[in-house]
Structure 1
Amino acid sequence: MSPMNESLFEFPCDFPIKVMGKSHPEFAETIVAVIRQFDSGFDASRVEVRPSSGGNYTGLTVTVRAVSREHLDTIYLALTGHPMVKVVL
């Protein structure tokens, strides 16, 4: 494997993902449900919630336990494909 293909992360690792969407009473709960499809032990208390200054959007930081690059990519795809999600970083 060439150095360019090697991961910069040692797996498994805790990896923070930022998720933004329109403010909705069930936004955080819904995102936790998506994460739990791929990380059954995900602890919802590890979700940081930040409403936007205008209150129209909510930003979440969810810290997942990623076991591989593929696992992380799969979580990102599920989040970006969810209708409540606007941005995933």
Structure 2
Amino acid sequence: MSADNNETLLEFPCEFDIKAFGRHGTSFEQVVYKLVKAHVPELTTDDLSSRESRGGRYIAVTASINAKSKAQLDAIYQDLTDSGQVLMSL
């Protein structure tokens, strides 16, 4: 068992959904795609789905990936957090 597995309940590799929230109308889907693709080279636009908020001001983008390690997930979430366009990520 690797050190990554000792720090999480996930077993890698595994399917994992990353969700990011931002303002609608700001090419937010492209921002999320570029940030996640930097860590998941095999990511395609078909791996993304999005949903607008009821009022249309915000958008949630979900990237479905095959996560390789906790370190990879941590790096993705750090890049999302550092982005000024991502309001929240799960």
**Structure 2-normalised TM-score?**
0.87
Shift of 1:7: 2.4
- Tell me the secondary structure at the aligned position of residue 87 of structure 2: strand
State the alpha-carbon separation in 2 of the partners of residues 25 and 75 from structure 1: 20
Q: Using a 3 Å threshold, how does the CA distance of structure 1 residues 83 and 6 change in structure 2: closer, same or farther?
A: closer
**What stretches of structure 2 of length at least 5 have no aligned partner?**
none
Aligned twin of 2:40: 39
Aligned twin of 2:50: 49
Q: Using a 3 Å threshold, how does the CA distance of structure 1 residues 6 and 27 change in structure 2: closer, same or farther?
A: closer
CA RMSD, 1 decimal: 1.5
- Tell me the secondary structure at the aligned position of residue 85 of structure 1: coil
**What stretches of structure 1 of length at least 5 have no aligned partner?**
none
Percentage of matched positions with identical amino acids: 34
Structure 1: 4+ residue segments shifted above 3 A: none
> 1:19-38, aligned counterparts within 5 Å?
19-38=20-39
- The one-letter code matched in structure 2 to 1:62 is A
Whether the 8 Å contact between 1:31 and 1:79 is mirrored in structure 2 is: yes
